[in-house]
Structure 1
């Protein structure tokens, strides 16, 4: 992609970050067009009150920001693609006893796939977003990085508190080459101050944290309504993982996640008086297993469907690195070895955690880092429980 002026689609969510990113893209000399994504044909069913990223309110905020910046503005209807790739995937994953990250899936399938495909087809060169992450040219030929010659690297943002490289770890080289992240070196307070100086009314708008398509924030209630009595998740036992004793009943495994402590409704405390946590979910049997916090500790996992931000790691060769297992989680020292999926025909990652983790569920993403550089990601399919004491 040329380093000169580009024709750029600025994805404008209606928040402060994407508005400032669009303004900076204009200042950098690019020919910028603002685009807001309509992700629901019934926006009133999505989160409102400046909490979501795809409501009518957000669309109006994005339009006003584009007017202030002085760029053309359009709304692109991505509701069908969003429903199929994100909402249905969210329901299917929970129905299968896994814990998905819908924002990561949205980045992969919508913002940097469907949007980029449409932008390129219309003659644009790149998509700019308000994500906090940095793109760098990969080192040239020679040395340990020679296999990355000519690639673009994705790195953590300067603002560690706002770093979003984890949810961008699903992007491949072609997508990264056509992406711009104008906020890479910025911290959030400075972005808000800049928005105010530019006269953008979204300067003080709260950040969005919740799942946009769950209007009231009640994920379990939303899933119960959407899935109903969809087998095999309608009712089952809550059992003690150590003894097998049935402690209670539940109305659906989709209401539980690994590591959950509250809302178990099992009536009485454990014999030692300590709280119980969800340790395992068996959707086919409808069984939710609970036990002490020590049972949440894992020291290894398997990741399937790897996606590489740079050149793929060589198969069978251990790679010393760090991994992140949640969007706002800590880094864990690890050794990652590309291998075959033990339950299928595709590639997989075997991850040995040198720093054990807690409460990690199948369906989450493992993102692999080499320093600040994002190497790639995979979907967690299985975990290995640590035998170390809590």
Structure 2
């Protein structure tokens, strides 16, 4: 397509040459964002790489599988040097602690199962970093997330990634229409992660074979409890493990060591039936256990909803959609009954197990890839 035609668009959707299009790339130091930056630089865009230092640099140097600290900052800087574009490291440690880590600790102590990666995208990367990109006179900001941005009849839409095994839409449901107009996700159309690694190798990037991050970045080895104890000293107070029928069946060393749906590691062997954690009573310092059927949930109260549908959510009495209540589960059919512009009751056609306050409930167009928004599960029925 000839870019001297005023109506012609470059690959990022702008009617001008790549060299005249500035794009800030959020670089975590991993292979995905590195490939995005390298590909855009190869296409001739005016690329500026930005990496956020989100938590203690020294403590993270030896931690594998993290992002936004230590060796990952070095990896991002090296990619920028190799590809010949500027790179900046911004200290967002205080912002990250205030906007993400403190809420994570408080939610966990309240018996919820928080998802801090969503809050990081919502409150840090797509808020403060996005504003920084605008301050740098960028036309847009690109990330390495596996999700698609498509332009529909009413503007940009959010869609699941082509590779459903890598899809990150669950973690990005709170992206607003205003943010979506400025964001680009160049990897969303790829069919597999192998394609990303092939591109990384083609550019000669040192991160081509770097393992994917698995844990929450500030939670080493997935040990939530030790992080909470460090953030909130004295949080691990002992108490009783109580059967749903009222029997005391054991003791625990702190509610923070348990999650809804947990079966292993309860230390209450010898009972006739397999028992699961069905409730965390933080105020009474009780871990409530019961049979598996008590984990089934059909009605889910959701608030802080970010709605991405074409018509306002409250314009209908109910919406037939598909929803995810866990990032690893496929969408399941449901009805949304709006209570206000930001609150709703979700009824699942098929009950789900282990639904917990603090998790997200993400809405999808039934039988399609479009993300219609989502909200936060705030209590159990």
Structure 1 and Structure 2 fold alike (TM over 0.5):
yes
Counterpart position of 1:339: 339
Specify every segment of 5 or more residues in structure 1 that has no aligned partner in the other structure, as ranges.
Answer: 140-148, 341-345, 385-390
Distance 1:310 1:118, change over 3 A: farther
Distance 1:339 1:168, change over 3 A: same
1:205 has 2:207 as partner: no
Specify every segment of 5 or more residues in structure 2 that has no aligned partner in the other structure, as ranges.
Answer: 1-12
Match for 1:68 among 77, 82, 100?
82
Contact 1:240 1:246 in 2 (8 A): yes
1:363 has 2:353 as partner: no
1:44 has 2:58 as partner: yes
Shift of 1:263: 1.9
Counterpart position of 1:254: 256
Match for 1:244 among 240, 243, 246?
246
Counterpart position of 1:227: 232
Q: Distance in 2 between matches of 1:119 and 1:310?
A: 27
Deviation larger for 309-318 or 80-89: 309-318
1:325 has 2:325 as partner: yes
1:271 has 2:272 as partner: yes
Shift of 1:48: 4.1
Match for 1:123 among 120, 129, 137?
137
Contact 1:14 1:62 in 2 (8 A): yes
Shift of 1:236: 2.0
Q: Distance in 2 between matches of 1:47 and 1:372?
A: 38
1:103 has 2:117 as partner: yes
Distance 1:2 1:317, change over 3 A: farther
Contact 2:65 2:212 in 1 (8 A): yes
Shift of 1:237: 1.6
Q: What SS does the corresponding residue of 1:383 show, helix, strand or coil?
A: coil
Shift of 1:309: 3.1
Counterpart position of 2:377: 380
Shift of 1:86: 0.9
Deviations 1:224-270 (A, max 9, x none): 2322224xx622221001x210112222222211111122122x333
1:33 has 2:37 as partner: no
Counterpart position of 1:217: 222
Q: Aligned pairs, how many?
A: 362
Distance 1:59 1:65, change over 3 A: same
